[in-house]
Structure 1
Amino acid sequence: MAVSAIPEDRNMSVDYSPFDFAVHEDPYPVYARLREEAPVHRNETDDFWALSRHADVAAALQDSARFSSRNGLRIEPPLWGPGAERFFSFVAMDPPRHTRMRKLVSRAFTHRRVMELEPRVREIARGYVRRIAERDSFDMMADLAAPFPTDVISELVGVPESDRAEIRELGKAVMYKEEESTDLPPQAMQAIGALVGYYTELTVERSKRRTDDLLSGLLDAAEGDDRLTPEEIVGVLILLVGAGIETTMLTLGNAWHAAWRHPEARRAALDGRIEDWVEETLRFDPPTQAIARTTTEPVELHGVRIPADARVLLLVGSANRDPRVFADPDRFDLGRDTGASLGFGHGRHRCLGAGLGRLEARVALEELASVVADYAIDDAGVRRIHSSNNRGFAVLPSMVTARR
């Protein structure tokens, strides 16, 4: 499998593509050059612009008037375009439609509902960690990071246990690919169709018999006479496959890998600094690296004019390593102030599920730290995912030293 090399020669113009497997391996040197040499970068081949500095990314995320979400969050077809809301629900909408949908979803996806889930989240995590503790080695992704958030979201939504493995496999088919391409592979489209079919049937079933789950809450959510349609509810459930399952899965893997690379931070993390571990991971190596927007009018930044109707990638992963905001940004430091991190977005589209994501990551790592005194990762066996906007691992083989 051929990959293009990351340019090292400072005399060469910097290039960036979210489809380049070499960039997936380590995007941060490219980001550093973009911030300094081309803070408004033009990729002619894939037809997009990229913003890499923290101030520019944060401002664009907050400016939905000039940086629209109407075409979606990822630039490959068919995820990009006027039908993007089929895949991203209200996240691919602008006000006032976004305002209406987010308000209704918020009525079901409450802080209370999330917090009440913690005992069950811990029970699920403990079940996986108990099996890990019986062995000297395990795959962080297959044995915990992937199945755990699938079970949590399924528990939240009301998916029966017998169907959860199928939902996880369909989600993986949508998110990842094995070839460098700007198109979504046919199996991904088939998986999306299968998910739509499954959640449509589940929504019909739940409309006849409510239970104490998020799907029932979405069916009952109302603002006066306004309610979510069945199609809108299915869209929200499809969104949760990526926003609810994948993000937590990748965060757990990235946290595990980052701490392994930084022994001092690893010792502090395993000794109890779990919340700092999660927050610094979201800053240092966030699962969401890029978020797409569409300009509604010409925008000029740093002397460069971006035309109207342009595709713009907001490089969150780069913004979180901007030395203008974070001192020594390439150091994994559990003691730093991560308040300016854009790991969960910014502005009106800030992740509605941030509280649940933090809860899942904290609980899973707490349970791991309770049985693991130290660990190492087999670098030769590590395999990354390949995604245009997300970063993380598919395989992360680990050898553990148990607590005595």
Structure 2
Amino acid sequence: MFPSTPATMAEKILARTSGRERVEPGEIVWATPDLVTTPEVSFPAYVARLRQNGIHRFAKPERVVVAIDHEVPVHSKEGAERNRRTRLLARETGVGHLFDGEGITHPLVVERGLVRPLDFVAAADTHTPSLGGVGALGVPFSIELTMILALGRIWVKVPETVRVEITGRCPPGVTARDLVLATMAEVDADLANYRVIEFGGAAVEALTVPERMTLCGLCIDMGAKSAVAEVDERCAAFLAARGVFGVEPVRADPGCRYAAVVTIDASSLTPRVSVPPNPTHVRAVSELADTAIQHAYIGSCASGTLAELTAAADLLNGRTVHPDVQMLVIPATKRIYQQAMETGVLARLSAAGAMIAPPTCGPCFGGLAQLAAGEARISTSTRNDPGRMGSRDAIIYLGSALTVTASAIAGRIADPRDYLPAHTRETAP
């Protein structure tokens, strides 16, 4: 049962998973995650830590997901040993799911129907809050994840919630990525710190579930604990297509308490980009029109969806990647890769000059397609701190898949609206 007093979505989730009728912000509760995820770059170290302390069994192995997704295909001796060790330990510990090269963890567990609204997911990856796109509370942990593996539960201080109401509708060329960058301009680190961002409003309702995952996943970079979007019929239909049935709309209770309420008008927004050295350093694309790039990348847990790959191929229709630019495209999961191949999207991207790689965290992790000193890349990935993609003297810009594609065509950071069909541009601000 949900608390009898008005509650935010995060409070409902933590009340349910801690066996409480209600929880209050600031309280310490012992919550039992519905799912625990860890990539191969962390899993062997967690198992070693537990075994050093005499713990050889997981409390709830059936709830554990291990994904080999960071170095795929493996390209180093260290990575090969780590991946081999991960496969061995996953078998020894009897985890519920081992995904070996099937895709990036967060979109993968949603695609496979392992996450449903009001779930609490604990994970070893920073951008786990993307699961808020299906109404779950994804919280990243570090070495504390070993406690969850050993006990099946973890203590959590109940966070306050910041409500972000996004009204209106995104104009052509403006995407979920631009919405979250606009949110970063309104919600600074002091407001976001150890709080959950709760998204709602007409513009959010108009987003697909993968777009909502992008919206929620990047909130960690503004200092939030996590993020969550309201669950509606569109989300229920999306999950039903992935084997998750019986989902009903979920939203915060009327009259619940928020630390703050922020309103953003989507209809007034234009494409924007994060500039170094932090995703929260946001500028309008128009301010960077003369900024040359040598690399463009579409992929990561914040991108690489079939819709985005299709949109990129459509924008490239009749055009080619600039001769001075290397464009890399990585679908987020193997299923998306297959769908993009079957529908001809990958062929269209390749014909326009893009390179296609198998599903992996890839450049976002820094182990693939590294940059040399002085080179610049515009990317749909999650972070742009110095050294993230190779040399510390390389420059990383972050934007939507449309902005990345337009920039790949122009050889400089470009406004995607300039490349949209004329009848579409007429409605853009």
TM over 0.5: no
Q: Indicate the structure with greater strand content.
A: 2
Flag the structure with more relative contact order, 1 or 2, with Cα contacts below 8 A and sequence separation at least 6: 1
Q: Indicate the structure with greater helix content.
A: 1
Q: So what's the TM-score if we normalise by structure 1?
A: 0.26
Q: So what's the TM-score if we normalise by structure 2?
A: 0.25
